[in-house]
Structures are given as structure tokens and as C-alpha cells.
């Protein structure tokens, strides 16, 4: 059966996948952001001067991190949005995982499943696959290549179709399989949210997020790339003005569709104190046409009743709040963790230990994380 599985090609994983939307590298950062807002997939394929060459991948979270990456961008966010997209890609390459290897890699449709897994384990965050070419008869018969993405999740889902092959390991606990990796992307609730930007760049690269911890190391919530991608560009103002703990509350308000006026005024006041007038103007311009509106006092109380940081724990199925975290225990089985991650559309699961010394479920200490890369490594070894 293993021989049969390894005879499968990358093209088998691309069946039914739509082509990704692309943007030329000559576009500006602002043009990329505008295109992302119109893109349901919330990600764009960036192509070079030769249209068959993919040079990167951009999401809203990348733009937000870029706006918060330097004093120049913070003081003049409009100027940053007018910079060429190539500047953003250079920023991604130099501030991500730092492996020196491209995070987005092209792979041929006839490549083996084995090759795709090895590319992911070698540090690729996304594989881009040419699926077919489209000929434009209006532009001198020019041919434009089309591509689709393959992610860690795509490979995991595909391998689940042959789960019986791995049944002898999928029932074992993640602890016994040594899958729990130490936490490297974490921040204290008291630290400035903007200090999480370098960590978020790494999280974008490896498909995880940044844990926000209490003083005793308990998991309060997370700041993830998908959360940033669900916000508009004015979230850069909140990152520049708030602590990590306060930023979790901001994300909760965004999720519920309103931002209390008192919260908004506090952000503007801090921006004014720091002389970040450009971010203040950006925030006001976006809010004037935003769906966010001042919520009622009862709405505000409903959020605050969840705790100072609006923190909840989620182990169920269905939609989750941006400040809920997907977590398991060290004794959870491998298959349970896989199902949990796929159900919540994340590429990782936090591992927490709710010992009595931490007061039960409300005081669960973060002990590590399990990622799809770790799980793929187990499958690869079995194959």
C-alpha cells in the first residue's frame, strides 16, 4: 500500500483546485492590498516579469507586518502603501524563517507525492503547481500560466485518505511520538503588541501563530496571520498603540463587528502621544467607510464578561472567535490532533497542561505546540 501511495503524483492533489489569483511584481503594496480585499482566498500569487515565474505569495497579514516593520512606515503608512511590491517581498524573505531557502516553491505536476512532502519538510510553506495555461487571443496570442497552491493541510488531508496505512501510529499520543515542540513564538500580555511583528513574520512562514502568555506562562490567546488578514489596514494603528493583551481584546471586538468608542479613542490618544499622526489619519480614513461601528454598552459588557482579555478555550467544532485557541493535552492521540486542526482550519494545535496547581481549565499552562510539519514528518518516516 505504501508503494501505491508513493506512486501518486502532485497532480492528484490538484484535482478540483481553482487557479490562484495573481498580481505582477510591478504593482504597489497598496494595489496588492486592494486586490486582496476583493479576493475571497485572501492571498495572491506574485509573478515576475516572466509571467511563468512565481516569485512569492502575499496576504493581508504580510501587508500589516510591513506597515509595522519600521519607523518610516509607521510615520508614513500611506507612503509605505505606495512602495513597490518588490519591497514587501524582500521584507518577507529577510524577516521570515531566515532559512535562506524560498518559502514559496514551484513543483511540477508530475512530481511524486514523496517529493512534495520532502519540499515541505525542507521548509517550504507553500508549493505552487502549474495546472494549465490560458491563451489570450486579444493580446497577440500570448500565453499566461495558471497555478494552484498546495499547503501542509492539503498534504495531510490527502494522506488521511490512506489513514489505515498509519493506524499503528495515529492512535498513539503526541507525547509518546515526541511531537510536542517547545514554544519559540510567544509574547507576554504586557509587552507591546508591535514587538510581536518579527514573530508574526516567522508564524506566516511556518503556518503557526504567536502565543500570548500570562505572567505564569498560561495561554491567554494568540495573534495569528488569519486574524490580521480578517482586519483592514487600520489594525496597524492598534498594533502600534496597544499591549499584546489589549490587542487580544481589540481582535475580539473586530470579530464581533464593533469597536467601542472609548477603545478607539484610547488608541488615537496613544498614537498622538507617540507622534504617529499618519497612523491616526489612516485609522480615521478607514473607519469612515468601515463596517465597524460603535457598539452599545450591553455589547461591550458581553465581550468583557469573557475576561479581561476576552480569552476562551475551544476544543469543539465549528467557527471560533479570533481569541479562542485550539488546544489539546499531551496525551491526545495523533489522529485526534489532526482532526482538531483540520476542523478549525489551522496548521497547528497548542499543547496545554491543566494541572491543579494552575487552577484547572482556566489556568492551563502552555507546554508546547504540534504543527502539520511535525505530523508530516511522522507520515514520511512511516512511508
Q: What is the mean pLDDT of residues 93-120?
A: 80
CA distance 116 to 110: 11
Question: Which range is most confident: 11-25, 285-299, 303-317?
Answer: 11-25
Closest alpha carbon to 174 in 325, 364, 368: 368
pLDDT at 320: 52
pLDDT at 295: 38
pTM reported for the whole predicted model: 0.83
CA distance 331 to 274: 47
- List pLDDT tens digits, range 304-341: 333 333 333 333 333 456 558 899 999 999 999 999 99
| pLDDT band with cut points at 50, 70 and 90 for residue 123 | confident
Question: Strand 22-24 vs strand 312-314: parallel, antiparallel, or unpaired?
Answer: unpaired
Task: Identify the burial level of 89 via C-beta atoms within 10 angstroms of its C-beta, where 0-12 means exposed, 13-18 middle and 19 or more buried.
Answer: buried
Q: Kindly report the average pLDDT of the chain as a whole number.
A: 82
Which grid cell sits at 375? 505530523
pLDDT at 88: 93
| pLDDT band with cut points at 50, 70 and 90 for residue 360 | very low
Q: What percent of the chain has pLDDT over 70?
A: 80
Q: What are phi and psi of 75, to 5 degrees?
A: -80, -25
- List pLDDT tens digits, range 152-187: 999 999 998 888 888 889 999 999 999 999 999 999
pLDDT at 312: 34
Residues 6+ apart with CB under 8 A from 197: 65, 68, 69, 239
- List pLDDT tens digits, range 296-305: 344 444 333 3
pLDDT at 101: 64
Closest alpha carbon to 146 in 306, 282, 325, 18: 18
| pLDDT band with cut points at 50, 70 and 90 for residue 76 | very high
CA distance 129 to 266: 46
pLDDT at 205: 86
Q: What is the mean pLDDT of residues 240-269?
A: 90
pLDDT at 361: 45
User: What's the farthest any 2 CA atoms get from each other in the chain?
Assistant: 72
CA distance 344 to 352: 17
Number of H helices, E strands in the chain: 19, 13
- List pLDDT tens digits, range 254-263: 888 888 888 8
Helix (H) or strand (E) holding 324: strand 324-328
Closest alpha carbon to 240 in 205, 268, 199: 268
| pLDDT band with cut points at 50, 70 and 90 for residue 3 | low
Amino acid at each position: 500500500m505504501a508503494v501505491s501511495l508513493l506512486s501518486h503524483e502532485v497532480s492528484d492533489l490538484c484535482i478540483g483546485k481553482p487557479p490562484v489569483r495573481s498580481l505582477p511584481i510591478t504593482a504597489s503594496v497598496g494595489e496588492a492590498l486592494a486586490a486582496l480585499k476583493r479576493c475571497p482566498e485572501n492571498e495572491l500569487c506574485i509573478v515576475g516579469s516572466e509571467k511563468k515565474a512565481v516569485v512569492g505569495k502575499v496576504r493581508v497579514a504580510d501587508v500589516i507586518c510591513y506597515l509595522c516593520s519600521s519607523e518610516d512606515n509607521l510615520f508614513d503608512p500611506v507612503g509605505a502603501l505606495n512602495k513597490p511590491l518588490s519591497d514587501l517581498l524582500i521584507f518577507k524573505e529577510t524577516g521570515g524563517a531566515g532559512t535562506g531557502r524560498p518559502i514559496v516553491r514551484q513543483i511540477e505536476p508530475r512530481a511524486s507525492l514523496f517529493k512534495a512532502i520532502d519540499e515541505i519538510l525542507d521548509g517550504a510553506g507553500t508549493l505552487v503547481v502549474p495546472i494549465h495555461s490560458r491563451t489570450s487571443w486579444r493580446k497577440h496570442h500570448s500565453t499566461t500560466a495558471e497555478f494552484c497552491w498546495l499547503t501542509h493541510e492539503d498534504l495531510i488531508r490527502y494522506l488521511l485518505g490512506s489513514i489505515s496505512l498509519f493506524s499503528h501510529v495515529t492512535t498513539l499520543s503526541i507525547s509518546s511520538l515526541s511531537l510536542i515542540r517547545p514554544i519559540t513564538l510567544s509574547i507576554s500580555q504586557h509587552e507591546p503588541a508591535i514587538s510581536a511583528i518579527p514573530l508574526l513574520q516567522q508564524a506566516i512562514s511556518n503556518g503557526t501563530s504567536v502565543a500570548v502568555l500570562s505572567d505564569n506562562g498560561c495561554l491567554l490567546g494568540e495573534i495569528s496571520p488569519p486574524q490580521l488578514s480578517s482586519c483592514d489596514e487600520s489594525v496597524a494603528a492598534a498594533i502600534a498603540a496597544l499591549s499584546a493583551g489589549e490587542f487580544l481584546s481589540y481582535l475580539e471586538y473586530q470579530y464581533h463587528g464593533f469597536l467601542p468608542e472609548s477603545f478607539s479613542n484610547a488608541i488615537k490618544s496613544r498614537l498622538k502621544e507617540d507622534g504617529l499622526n499618519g497612523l491616526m489619519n489612516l485609522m480615521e480614513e478607514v473607519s469612515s467607510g468601515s463596517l465597524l461601528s460603535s457598539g452599545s454598552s450591553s455589547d461591550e459588557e458581553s465581550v468583557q464578561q469573557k475576561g479581561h482579555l476576552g480569552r476562551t478555550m475551544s476544543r469543539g467544532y465549528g467557527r471560533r472567535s479570533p481569541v479562542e485557541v485550539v488546544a489539546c493535552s499531551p496525551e491526545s492521540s495523533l489522529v485526534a490532533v489532526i482532526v482538531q486542526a483540520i476542523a478549525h482550519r489551522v496548521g497547528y494545535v497548542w499543547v496545554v497542561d491543566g494541572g491543579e496547581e494552575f487552577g484547572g481549565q482556566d489556568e492551563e499552562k502552555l507546554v508546547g505546540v504540534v504543527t502539520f510539519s511535525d505530523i508530516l514528518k511522522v507520515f514520511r518516516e512511516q512511508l
